[in-house]
């Protein structure tokens, strides 16, 4: 397991990643908790990668042996919210339960406070039904702050979310 973690890296996406990108973007189990719907074709996936993922550069590929198996992104607030950022991540279902998402979140958290002066808080909102993602955050050291009832409309239904935080003064587990 530890050997596998040494093969995990984060890097910007490239158009040549399309086949790997499609693995999780076509999986209904993965998309269940994501804000996007599954891709219906390779052209749809290529457009998503080319027009949304690559240009914004907030999302990095989670790679195993330099092949993308998921993504992780961090969006920093602006104005009065400049002191906080929100993290989000997704992983191909084949790799669930192996500690890879936890490792990727640790990689981001371990460097982001140094890279972004003034950042004091990382947040994550998680569907109350997404127990796997809750465990990832808790393993890293995020603290559950509360329940956000009827927080957003997700794929046609209003859902409750938990909010988690990690402060610049917290320690990674």
User: pLDDT, tens digit, for every residue of 50-102?
Assistant: 998 998 878 999 999 999 999 999 999 999 999 999 999 999 999 999 999 99
User: pLDDT, tens digit, for every residue of 117-167?
Assistant: 899 999 999 999 999 999 999 999 999 999 999 999 999 899 999 999 999
What is the separation of C-alpha 2 from the centre of its chain, rounded to a whole number of angstroms?
Answer: 21
Please say whether the beta carbons of 124 and 142 come within 8 A: yes
Is pTM beyond 0.95? Reply is: no
The owner of tokens 């550069």 is: 57
Judge: domain 2-167, CATH 3.40.630.30: yes
Distance separating alpha carbons of residues 50 and 38, to the nearest angstrom: 16
């Amino acid at each position: 397991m530890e050997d596998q973690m040494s093969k995990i890296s984060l890097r910007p996406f490239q158009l040549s990643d399309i086949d790997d990108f499609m693995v999780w973007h076509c999986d209904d189990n993965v998309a269940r908790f994501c804000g996007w719907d599954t891709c219906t074709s390779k052209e749809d996936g290529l457009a998503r990668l080319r027009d949304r993922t690559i240009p914004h550069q907030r999302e990095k590929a989670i790679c195993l042996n330099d092949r993308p198996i998921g993504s992780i992104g961090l969006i920093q607030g602006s104005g009065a919210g400049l002191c906080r950022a929100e993290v989000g991540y997704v992983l191909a279902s084949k790799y669930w339960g192996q500690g890879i998402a936890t490792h990727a979140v640790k990689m981001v958290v371990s460097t982001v406070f140094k890279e972004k002066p003034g950042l004091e808080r990382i947040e994550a909102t998680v569907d109350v039904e997404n127990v796997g993602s809750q465990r990832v955050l808790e393993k890293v050291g995020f603290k559950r702050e509360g329940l956000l009832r009827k927080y957003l409309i997700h794929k046609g239904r209003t859902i409750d979310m938990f909010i988690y935080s990690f402060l610049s003064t917290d320690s990674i587990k």
